[in-house]
Structure formats: C-alpha cells, structure tokens
C-alpha cells in the first residue's frame, strides 16, 4: 500500500514547469470555509494555501467529506470562502462583487460536473451554444464554434437530439464539450468519470489529457487513482486540511 502511495507520490510530484518571473494562475492563502451550526462552526476547509501555475494538471484527492468539491467550487468562483484570500490571474477574487466575478469566470473557467447537468429542454447543439450566447458572441461565429466542437468530439450526428435521448457517456461528453467550447484557460472537473463505466471514462480522461497538452490548466477532483495518474500533481485533503499523504 505504502509503496503504491510512494509510487504515485513520486509520479505526482513531477515538478511543474515554471517560467521564471511569471506569477501563478491561482494563488490561495489561508482559505477557510465553515458553516454555522448551533453555537459553533463546522469547518469544511482549513487554511488552504495553494498555488497552481498555468498549464498544470492538478488532482485533488481525499476521503468523502474532505472538502474537495468545496475547494473546487471556491476556485471556480461558485462559492465564497469564509476566510482567506484568492488571487486568480492577479485579480483578488475575494474582493470582487458578484457581477465582476461572474464576468471573470465566464471568460476563463469551464466547469465539468459529475452528473452532466445539461439543460433538458435544449438539443445538444443548443446546449453547446448557450455559454456562447451569454458571452454575446455573434451568430455566425457561434455557429462555427459549435460546429467545430461537434466535430472535434465526434458527436455531429447527435446535434439535434435532446439529453434524454443520449446515453450517460454521451451526455458527459456533451458536458465536457460545453465546458470547453469557449476555450477557457482553466477547466475544473468534479468526478468527471464518476457515473461512467471504465471504457467511457478512459475516453474522457484521454480527452482531458489532450486538452492539457494544448495548454488548458486542469484541476480535477476524483476518487480514482487511475484518473489521478493523468495529472502532474496531487493534492491530498483530509478533514479540510492539505496533508502530505493519506
């Protein structure tokens, strides 16, 4: 067991390429999150100090309830920390208001969920189109971007179908497509293969790997050791703390 751990750790602790003088994409200091309960607090995250450079492929691992998803949500600006600072691309996110934050993550971050979460009333094409609409991209350009993505993910034939007409794997594929269509710099993935069987999961992970090689920074949360191996660094969380090993 420990050997395996050691192996992984070695593999996972390949040093990221740092260009000297370039600030990290993500820097958090002392991020803490709690919920009030009775007379006290329940801590979900404690003193998280994190630095992620552009181009990395990070995996966050840990037992259930360790706060992985919460951390991902905070990084993705879907949630706010109770304490601490968070800088994204040199912007102090914790100081921004809702509108500015929404602008920021709209532009740079894509989110992949475990349960796909597609809009049921829209076709595949329309689901892919939606983020582009909110970015006010012109119709012609939208069309070309969607067609491109459909092509790339090899789902052109499915563009007129509704989510209820697709299998689980196909839906997740569309979910990933939607997350990357606007070419975000950062991709956050919460258990991207959780609901899929192994061969579908493989496909997704290989896709993510390819994206990372093309320059997209990826942070994934997963239970699977196999998935973790696709990344270049692992961060372990336990009871809200970053630990060296589990």
Partner 1 sequence: MFRNYLKVALRNIIRHKGYSIINVAGLAIGMACAILILLWIQDELSYDRFHQNADRLHLIALTQKLETGQQTIPTQQAPLGPLLKENIPEISEYARFREYFYTLAYDKNTFQEEIYFVDPSFLTMFSFPLNQGDPATALDDPHSILLTETMARKYFGQNQLVGKVLRLNEQVELTVTGIMQDVPHNSTLQFECLAPFGLLRELGFDIDEWLGNDYVTFVLLEEPASYQQVGEKIDFFCSDLYKQEKGTAECPHTMFLHPVTKAHLYPLGWAGGRIDYVYIFALAAAMILIIACMNFINISTARSVNRAKEICLRKVVGANRAQLGKQLLGESILLSLIAAAAAVAFAEFLLPVFNYRAGKELSLVYSNPVLIVGLLAIVILTGVLSGMFPAIYLSAFQPVKVLKGHLKSGRGALQLRRILVVFQFALSLVLIIATIVISSQITYINNKDLGLNKENVLYLLASQGIKEYYTTFKEELEKNPKVICVTAAAQGITHINSSLGNNWDFDGRDPNQRLEIHFDWVSLDYAETFGLEMAEGRFYSEEFPSEMVDGIVLNEKAVELMGIKDPIGKRFSYWGNDKRIIGVVKDFHLEPLYETLKPMILIYHDFINYVYIRIAPDGASQALSYIETVYKRLEPAGTFQYGFLDDRYKREYRAELRLASLSRYGTALAIFIACLGLFGLASFMAEQRTKEIGIRKVLGASVTSIIRMMSKEFVMLVVVAILIASPLAYLAMNRWLEHFAYRTSLGWWVFVAGGLLALLITLMTVSFQAVKAALTNPVETLRYE
Report the interface residues with partner 1, using CB under 8 A. Answer: 69, 73, 78-79, 98-99, 102, 105-106, 111, 113, 115, 117-122, 126, 129-131, 133-135, 178
Residue with smaller CB distance to partner 1, 11 or 117:
117
| Closer Cβ to partner 1, 155 or 234, answer by number | 155
- Residue closer to partner 1, measured from CB, 181 or 234: 181
Of the pair 24, 192, the CB lying nearest partner 1 is at: 192
- Answer for the pair 44, 219: CB distance below 8 angstroms, yes or no: no
The answer to whether the CB of 46 falls within 8 A of the CB of 237 is no
Closest listed residue to residue 234, CA positions, set 64, 24, 89, 62? 62
Q: Give the residues across from 238 on adjacent strands.
A: 241
Q: How far is the CB of 208 from partner 1 (least distance, A)?
A: 18
Alpha-carbon span 68 to 221, nearest angstrom: 7
Least CB distance to partner 1 at residue 175 (A): 10
Q: How far is the CB of 8 from partner 1 (least distance, A)?
A: 28
Minimum separation from the CB atom of position 154 to partner 1 (A): 22
- Residue 115 or 167: the one with the smaller Cβ distance to partner 1 is 115
Instruction: Say which DSSP state 78 is in.
Output: S
Would you say 15 or 121 has its CB closer to partner 1? Answer: 121
- Structural tokens at position 169: 């794997």
Nearer to partner 1, 8 or 78 (CB): 78
Beta-bridge partners for 29: 85
Contact 115, 192 (CB under 8 A): no
- For 214, other C-beta atoms within 10 Å of its C-beta total 10
Smallest gap from residue 133 Cβ to partner 1 (A): 5
In angstroms, what is the minimal distance from the CB of 174 to partner 1? 12
> Minimum distance from CB of 5 to partner 1 (Å)?
29
Which residues pair with residue 52 across a beta bridge?
26
Closest CA to 81 of 27, 44, 38: 44
């Amino acid at each position: 067991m420990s050997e395996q751990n050691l192996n992984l750790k070695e593999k996972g602790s390949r040093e990221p390429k740092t260009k000297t003088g370039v600030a990290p994409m993500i820097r958090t200091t002392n991020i803490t999150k709690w919920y009030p309960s009775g007379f006290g607090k329940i801590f979900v995250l404690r003193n998280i100090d994190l630095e992620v450079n552009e181009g990395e492929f990070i995996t966050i691992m840990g037992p259930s309830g360790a706060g992985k998803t919460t951390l991902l949500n905070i990084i993705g600006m879907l949630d706010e920390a109770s304490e601490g600072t968070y800088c994204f691309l040199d912007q102090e996110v914790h100081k921004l208001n809702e509108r500015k934050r929404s602008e920021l993550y709209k532009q740079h971050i894509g989110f992949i969920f475990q349960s796909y979460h597609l809009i049921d009333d829209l076709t595949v094409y329309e689901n892919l189109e939606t983020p582009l609409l909110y970015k006010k991209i012109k119709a012609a350009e939208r069309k070309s971007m969607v067609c491109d993505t459909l092509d790339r993910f090899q789902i052109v034939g499915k563009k007129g179908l509704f989510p209820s007409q697709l299998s689980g794997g196909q839906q997740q594929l569309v979910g990933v497509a939607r997350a990357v269509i606007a070419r975000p710099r950062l991709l956050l993935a919460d258990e991207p293969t959780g609901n899929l069987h192994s061969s579908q999961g493989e496909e997704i992970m290989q896709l993510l790997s390819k994206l990372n090689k093309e320059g997209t920074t990826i942070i994934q949360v997963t239970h699977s050791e196999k998935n973790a191996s696709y990344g270049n660094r692992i961060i372990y969380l336990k009871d809200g703390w970053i630990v060296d090993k589990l």
